[in-house]
Amino acid sequence: MTTTANAYDAIAVQYAELVRGVLATFPLDRAFLDAFADTVRANGAGRVAELGCGPGYVAAHLAERGLDVFGVDLSPTMVDIARATYPGVRFDVGSMDALDLPAGALNGIVCWYSTIHAPPEVLPAYLAEFRRLLTPGGHLALAFFESEGGPLTSFDHKVVEAYRWPVDELAGLAGDAGFVEVGRMLREPVEDERFRRGHLLLRRH
Protein backbone atom coordinates (compact mmCIF):
# COMPACT_ATOMS: atom_id res chain seq x y z
CA MET A 1 0.00 0.00 0.00
CA THR A 2 2.88 2.35 0.73
CA THR A 3 4.27 1.69 -2.75
CA THR A 4 0.89 2.46 -4.31
CA ALA A 5 0.43 5.63 -2.26
CA ASN A 6 3.90 6.91 -3.16
CA ALA A 7 3.38 6.11 -6.83
CA TYR A 8 0.11 8.05 -6.97
CA ASP A 9 1.59 10.93 -4.97
CA ALA A 10 4.26 11.26 -7.64
CA ILE A 11 1.79 11.62 -10.53
CA ALA A 12 -1.17 13.18 -8.70
CA VAL A 13 -1.15 16.53 -10.49
CA GLN A 14 -0.87 14.97 -13.95
CA TYR A 15 -3.50 12.35 -13.12
CA ALA A 16 -5.97 14.94 -11.85
CA GLU A 17 -5.59 16.90 -15.07
CA LEU A 18 -5.99 13.75 -17.17
CA VAL A 19 -9.33 12.79 -15.60
CA ARG A 20 -10.77 16.28 -15.32
CA GLY A 21 -14.20 16.24 -16.94
CA VAL A 22 -13.82 12.60 -17.98
CA LEU A 23 -17.35 11.56 -17.00
CA ALA A 24 -18.75 13.99 -19.54
CA THR A 25 -17.06 11.98 -22.30
CA PHE A 26 -18.15 8.51 -21.11
CA PRO A 27 -21.96 8.36 -20.98
CA LEU A 28 -22.05 4.66 -20.07
CA ASP A 29 -19.75 5.16 -17.08
CA ARG A 30 -21.83 8.13 -15.99
CA ALA A 31 -25.04 6.12 -16.38
CA PHE A 32 -23.64 3.35 -14.17
CA LEU A 33 -22.79 5.85 -11.43
CA ASP A 34 -26.19 7.47 -11.76
CA ALA A 35 -27.87 4.06 -11.46
CA PHE A 36 -25.83 3.41 -8.32
CA ALA A 37 -26.92 6.78 -6.90
CA ASP A 38 -30.58 6.10 -7.68
CA THR A 39 -30.36 2.62 -6.14
CA VAL A 40 -28.73 3.90 -2.95
CA ARG A 41 -31.29 6.70 -2.55
CA ALA A 42 -34.12 4.22 -3.03
CA ASN A 43 -32.64 2.18 -0.17
CA GLY A 44 -33.01 5.11 2.25
CA ALA A 45 -30.81 7.87 3.61
CA GLY A 46 -27.28 7.06 4.64
CA ARG A 47 -23.63 7.86 4.12
CA VAL A 48 -21.74 6.76 1.03
CA ALA A 49 -17.96 6.37 0.71
CA GLU A 50 -15.83 6.46 -2.38
CA LEU A 51 -12.83 4.35 -1.41
CA GLY A 52 -9.71 5.13 -3.40
CA CYS A 53 -11.19 8.44 -4.52
CA GLY A 54 -8.09 9.89 -6.20
CA PRO A 55 -8.73 13.52 -7.18
CA GLY A 56 -12.37 13.24 -6.14
CA TYR A 57 -14.33 13.62 -9.36
CA VAL A 58 -16.51 10.54 -8.81
CA ALA A 59 -17.40 11.52 -5.25
CA ALA A 60 -18.22 15.02 -6.49
CA HIS A 61 -20.50 13.60 -9.19
CA LEU A 62 -22.33 11.46 -6.65
CA ALA A 63 -22.74 14.47 -4.37
CA GLU A 64 -24.35 16.30 -7.28
CA ARG A 65 -26.69 13.32 -7.59
CA GLY A 66 -27.86 13.89 -4.03
CA LEU A 67 -25.77 11.42 -2.04
CA ASP A 68 -24.19 12.16 1.34
CA VAL A 69 -20.76 11.10 0.10
CA PHE A 70 -17.17 11.38 1.31
CA GLY A 71 -13.92 10.20 -0.24
CA VAL A 72 -10.91 8.32 1.13
CA ASP A 73 -7.54 7.78 -0.55
CA LEU A 74 -4.09 6.51 0.40
CA SER A 75 -2.36 9.39 -1.39
CA PRO A 76 -2.16 12.62 0.65
CA THR A 77 -1.45 14.59 -2.53
CA MET A 78 -4.56 13.21 -4.21
CA VAL A 79 -6.62 14.14 -1.15
CA ASP A 80 -5.18 17.68 -1.16
CA ILE A 81 -6.17 18.07 -4.82
CA ALA A 82 -9.67 16.69 -4.17
CA ARG A 83 -10.21 19.08 -1.24
CA ALA A 84 -9.07 22.05 -3.29
CA THR A 85 -11.13 21.11 -6.34
CA TYR A 86 -14.34 20.08 -4.56
CA PRO A 87 -14.49 22.00 -1.26
CA GLY A 88 -18.11 20.97 -0.70
CA VAL A 89 -17.18 17.29 -0.32
CA ARG A 90 -15.22 15.74 2.56
CA PHE A 91 -12.00 13.89 1.67
CA ASP A 92 -9.72 12.01 4.07
CA VAL A 93 -6.41 10.16 3.88
CA GLY A 94 -6.87 6.51 4.73
CA SER A 95 -6.87 2.89 3.59
CA MET A 96 -10.00 1.23 2.22
CA ASP A 97 -9.34 -1.89 4.28
CA ALA A 98 -8.95 -0.12 7.62
CA LEU A 99 -11.56 2.60 8.02
CA ASP A 100 -12.33 3.78 11.54
CA LEU A 101 -16.07 3.25 11.15
CA PRO A 102 -18.49 0.94 12.96
CA ALA A 103 -20.22 -1.96 11.26
CA GLY A 104 -23.18 -0.90 9.12
CA ALA A 105 -22.08 2.73 9.00
CA LEU A 106 -22.52 3.10 5.23
CA ASN A 107 -25.42 2.78 2.82
CA GLY A 108 -23.14 2.63 -0.21
CA ILE A 109 -19.51 2.15 -1.28
CA VAL A 110 -17.92 2.95 -4.62
CA CYS A 111 -14.54 1.58 -5.68
CA TRP A 112 -13.87 3.24 -9.04
CA TYR A 113 -10.83 1.34 -10.36
CA SER A 114 -9.40 1.50 -6.85
CA THR A 115 -9.19 -2.24 -6.12
CA ILE A 116 -7.27 -2.93 -9.34
CA HIS A 117 -3.91 -2.89 -7.55
CA ALA A 118 -4.98 -5.32 -4.81
CA PRO A 119 -3.30 -8.73 -5.24
CA PRO A 120 -5.94 -11.41 -5.86
CA GLU A 121 -5.22 -13.13 -2.56
CA VAL A 122 -5.92 -9.87 -0.69
CA LEU A 123 -9.16 -8.89 -2.42
CA PRO A 124 -11.42 -11.22 -0.36
CA ALA A 125 -10.35 -9.38 2.80
CA TYR A 126 -11.22 -6.06 1.14
CA LEU A 127 -14.66 -7.36 0.17
CA ALA A 128 -15.22 -8.65 3.71
CA GLU A 129 -14.41 -5.19 5.07
CA PHE A 130 -16.79 -3.56 2.59
CA ARG A 131 -19.53 -5.93 3.75
CA ARG A 132 -18.81 -5.06 7.39
CA LEU A 133 -19.08 -1.35 6.65
CA LEU A 134 -22.35 -1.60 4.73
CA THR A 135 -25.75 -1.68 6.34
CA PRO A 136 -27.84 -4.74 5.36
CA GLY A 137 -29.17 -4.04 1.88
CA GLY A 138 -26.44 -1.47 1.22
CA HIS A 139 -24.80 -1.37 -2.20
CA LEU A 140 -21.27 -1.70 -3.53
CA ALA A 141 -20.20 -0.46 -6.97
CA LEU A 142 -16.97 -1.85 -8.44
CA ALA A 143 -15.27 -0.57 -11.60
CA PHE A 144 -12.32 -2.60 -12.88
CA PHE A 145 -10.40 -3.76 -15.93
CA GLU A 146 -12.07 -6.84 -17.41
CA SER A 147 -10.08 -9.76 -18.88
CA GLU A 148 -12.07 -10.08 -22.15
CA GLY A 149 -12.43 -13.85 -22.03
CA GLY A 150 -8.99 -14.49 -20.61
CA PRO A 151 -7.97 -15.53 -17.10
CA LEU A 152 -7.21 -13.28 -14.16
CA THR A 153 -3.92 -11.62 -15.06
CA SER A 154 -1.63 -8.80 -14.00
CA PHE A 155 -0.59 -6.03 -16.35
CA ASP A 156 1.81 -3.11 -16.52
CA HIS A 157 -0.41 -0.29 -15.28
CA LYS A 158 1.26 3.11 -15.80
CA VAL A 159 1.41 3.75 -12.04
CA VAL A 160 1.90 0.36 -10.36
CA GLU A 161 1.07 -3.26 -11.19
CA ALA A 162 -2.66 -3.94 -11.57
CA TYR A 163 -4.98 -6.83 -12.40
CA ARG A 164 -7.63 -7.65 -15.00
CA TRP A 165 -10.50 -9.78 -13.71
CA PRO A 166 -12.99 -12.02 -15.54
CA VAL A 167 -16.32 -10.46 -14.61
CA ASP A 168 -17.86 -13.80 -13.60
CA GLU A 169 -14.91 -14.63 -11.34
CA LEU A 170 -15.04 -11.26 -9.60
CA ALA A 171 -18.81 -11.52 -9.19
CA GLY A 172 -18.33 -14.98 -7.69
CA LEU A 173 -15.72 -13.69 -5.26
CA ALA A 174 -18.14 -10.97 -4.19
CA GLY A 175 -20.85 -13.62 -3.76
CA ASP A 176 -18.56 -15.61 -1.48
CA ALA A 177 -18.06 -12.44 0.59
CA GLY A 178 -21.80 -11.98 1.13
CA PHE A 179 -22.93 -9.87 -1.81
CA VAL A 180 -25.70 -10.44 -4.35
CA GLU A 181 -25.22 -9.18 -7.89
CA VAL A 182 -27.76 -6.55 -8.92
CA GLY A 183 -26.35 -5.79 -12.37
CA ARG A 184 -23.26 -5.50 -14.50
CA MET A 185 -22.02 -3.41 -17.39
CA LEU A 186 -19.14 -4.09 -19.78
CA ARG A 187 -17.80 -1.27 -21.93
CA GLU A 188 -15.44 -1.86 -24.82
CA PRO A 189 -12.23 0.21 -24.89
CA VAL A 190 -12.27 3.43 -26.85
CA GLU A 191 -9.36 5.28 -28.41
CA ASP A 192 -6.30 5.39 -26.12
CA GLU A 193 -7.78 2.70 -23.82
CA ARG A 194 -6.20 -0.74 -23.76
CA PHE A 195 -8.79 -2.92 -22.06
CA ARG A 196 -12.50 -3.57 -21.65
CA ARG A 197 -14.02 -1.89 -18.61
CA GLY A 198 -16.12 -3.89 -16.15
CA HIS A 199 -18.71 -2.58 -13.69
CA LEU A 200 -20.57 -4.54 -11.01
CA LEU A 201 -23.43 -3.33 -8.81
CA LEU A 202 -23.74 -5.53 -5.72
CA ARG A 203 -26.05 -5.62 -2.70
CA ARG A 204 -25.01 -6.70 0.78
CA HIS A 205 -26.92 -9.66 2.24
Question: What would the mean pLDDT of 146-173 be, rounded to a whole number?
Answer: 92
Q: Which of 105-109, 117-121, 173-177 has the lowest mean pLDDT?
A: 117-121
* Dihedral, CA of residue 186, residue 189, residue 194 and residue 199, to nearest 10: -20
Average pLDDT of span 9-26: 79
Question: Other CB atoms closer than 10 Å to residue 70's CB: what's the count?
Answer: 19
The residue among 85, 83, 91, 75 whose CA lies nearest residue 11 is: 75
Predicted TM-score (pTM) above 0.85: yes
Q: What is the mean pLDDT of residues 153-179?
A: 92
Q: Which of 7-16, 102-111, 166-175 has the lowest mean pLDDT?
A: 7-16
Q: Is the pLDDT of residue 5 over 70?
A: no
Say if CB 134 and CB 204 are below 8 A apart: yes
Whether pLDDT at 2 is above 70: no
Measured in Å, how far apart are the chain's first and last C-alpha atoms? Answer: 29
Element (H, E) at 162: strand 162-165
Band of pLDDT at residue 151, cut at 50, 70 and 90: very high
Angle between helices 27-42 and 57-64 (to 10 degrees): 50
> For the CA atoms of the chain, what is the radius of gyration?
16
Q: What is the mean pLDDT of residues 9-19?
A: 72
Quickly list H helices, 22-155. Answer: 27-42, 57-64, 76-85, 123-133
Confidence of residue 50 (pLDDT cuts 50, 70, 90): very high
pLDDT for residue 180: 98
